[in-house]
Structure 1
Amino acid sequence: MSAPPPPPPPPQWVLDLESAGSTKPKNSPLPDPPGYTASLTRKERAQSSKVAAVRKAPTPEEMDTLKMKKAWELAIAPAKQLPMSAIGMYMTGNTLQIFSIFMIFTLFKTPVMAVAGLQRTFAPFDTPGTSGRLIGVKLVYILMNLVGLALGIWKVNQMGLLPTTRSDWLAWEGERTWSERAVPREWL
């Protein structure tokens, strides 16, 4: 029988951790955490953090790119609220209640206020390098808010509050009479 092969040598990081000098007191029962080097003095640690903190300032082109990315995120944000608003509209039902009134009020108020404050919203992103490209972003922002407004109009129509028939506008027009009914008139 042959002897088992010797174990492989430990990785370099294990050797580095084991070779670092320890300055902790002898009476401490806790071992140092992995990667801790107590050999650095406070001054050396402060200098190394300063070197890590110093970074190259971004160029104006990089800043304009970052501002445009942030502006696009802001322009698409109203569309991200639409699914939640649609779920809220579904949950409130088509009857006239305080909850549905508040939801509809919010659906109308939010887009109108957002479009009214358009310049103030995009003012932080307006630089000479981005002013021409911001027009498309602002148009998308307005469009997304109009979709939210359309959701509110749809909900009001579902509730029967929009005047969509002739009898809503003309006093002498009567309600539509149905030639057939699914249930007898007495049940209604």
Structure 2
Amino acid sequence: MYTNPEVPKWVVDLEFPPAPKSKSSIPDPPGYPSQSTGLTKKQASKEAKTQPRKQPSPEEMDTLKLKKAWEVALAPVKNLPMTAIMMYMSGNSLQIFSIMMVFMAFKNPIVGILSTNQAFERFESDSNRGQMLQVKLATTRSDWLAWEAHREPLEHAVSAL
């Protein structure tokens, strides 16, 4: 098989892998037949049953796109606990880390609002444009938290000395 001296042996071996070696004295583990036996009955029946996947209809695609769009719209809410923990851990002293955390807490919602159309353009089609408008307008507390008014407490607790 290796007749052409210009082609290295490893190239020929890649194109025509060597035949599997004869069975050794060590038996195969349960459920793992050797390569020489071919497919098991279960694998052969599975391959026989496999049919090409049918393409989703336009309505199904719109439903899938709408679900993904809602996931994208609600993703900032999932970042709130991490931001809260990071703000708590940064403390109340003036350090570069706490300054960066405050800056990021204000910058991220503004950037998110400005890039709303780019975030949802891959999900939008002519048939779901009205539904996508609802997704784009979905606001959560994280979207407007910076402009929320501070609540006045009804009671004050004083710690004992």
Give TM-score scaled by structure 2 length: 0.63
Per the alignment, residue 169 of structure 1 pairs with: none
Write the distance in 1 (CA, Å) between the matches of 2:79 and 2:136: 17
Per the alignment, residue 27 of structure 2 pairs with: 30
Q: Which runs of 5+ in 2 are unaligned?
A: 1-19, 151-161
Give 1:147 shift: 3.9
Give 1:36 shift: 4.2
Larger Rg over CA atoms = 1
Query: Which residue, out of 136, 143, 149, partners 1:146?
Result: 143
Q: Is the 8 A contact 1:115 1:145 kept in 2?
A: no
Per the alignment, residue 90 of structure 1 pairs with: 88
Per the alignment, residue 16 of structure 1 pairs with: none
After superposition, the Cα gap between the structure-2 partners of 1:144 and 1:77, relative to the gap in structure 1 and judged at 3 Å, is: farther
The number of equivalent residue pairs is 125
Moved over 6 A (4+): none
CA RMSD of aligned residues (A): 3.3
Paired letter, 1:29: I
Q: Is the 8 A contact 1:107 1:148 kept in 2?
A: no
1:79 aligns with 2:77: yes
Q: Is the 8 A contact 2:80 2:142 kept in 1?
A: no
Write the distance in 1 (CA, Å) between the matches of 2:32 and 2:24: 21
Q: Which runs of 5+ in 1 are unaligned?
A: 1-22, 155-188
After superposition, the Cα gap between the structure-2 partners of 1:130 and 1:80, relative to the gap in structure 1 and judged at 3 Å, is: same
Paired letter, 1:92: S
After superposition, the Cα gap between the structure-2 partners of 1:39 and 1:80, relative to the gap in structure 1 and judged at 3 Å, is: closer
Write the distance in 2 (CA, Å) between the matches of 1:149 and 1:52: 54
Paired letter, 2:71: E
Give TM-score scaled by structure 1 length: 0.55
After superposition, the Cα gap between the structure-2 partners of 1:76 and 1:127, relative to the gap in structure 1 and judged at 3 Å, is: same
Per the alignment, residue 136 of structure 1 pairs with: 134
Write the distance in 1 (CA, Å) between the matches of 2:141 and 2:125: 23
Q: Is the 8 A contact 1:126 1:134 kept in 2?
A: yes
Give 1:149 shift: 3.8
After superposition, the Cα gap between the structure-2 partners of 1:128 and 1:33, relative to the gap in structure 1 and judged at 3 Å, is: farther
After superposition, the Cα gap between the structure-2 partners of 1:26 and 1:98, relative to the gap in structure 1 and judged at 3 Å, is: closer
